[in-house]
């Protein structure tokens, strides 16, 4: 989980620099995941839970990331490096949500149920 967090931070940084240098008109505010950033956008904090409990669906991850980055504009673009970095961000983000669900949420629920009974 730490490995994925470090990896996504590096890729986000490369992606942000590339977009801001080559394509400054494309919306790219990729400083996520943060509950405050979700509240500032049109998403709301429920979308984080929506992606989390969709077991890291790439479609839901793409929708989540679209609030911070203009995904459609980047996909129209011909720059393969941008597309590659965006797809890597989506894939790693999806995997990070899956790992979070497996390592944190499920054991927490099991512990909670065990304490109740």
- Per this entry, what is the length of the chain? 117
Q: By the 8 A CB rule, do 58 and 65 touch?
A: no
Angle at 102 between CA 52 and CA 90, to 5 degrees: 45
pLDDT category at 95 given cuts 50, 70, 90 is confident
Q: Looking at residue 31, what is its pLDDT?
A: 62
**pLDDT tens string 35-75:** 455 455 555 566 666 777 777 778 888 877 777 777 888 88
Q: Is the pTM of this model over 0.75?
A: no
């Amino acid at each position: 989980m730490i490995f994925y967090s470090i990896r996504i931070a590096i890729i986000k940084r490369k992606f942000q620099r590339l977009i801001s240098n080559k394509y400054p008109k494309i919306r790219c505010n990729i400083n996520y995941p943060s509950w405050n950033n979700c509240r500032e956008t049109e998403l709301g904090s429920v979308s984080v839970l929506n992606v989390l409990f969709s077991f890291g669906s790439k479609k839901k991850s793409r929708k989540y990331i679209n609030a911070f980055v203009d995904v459609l504009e980047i996909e129209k673009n011909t720059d393969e490096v941008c597309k590659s970095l965006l797809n890597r961000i989506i894939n790693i983000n999806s995997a990070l949500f899956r790992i979070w669900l497996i390592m944190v949420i499920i054991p927490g629920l099991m512990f909670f149920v065990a304490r109740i009974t």
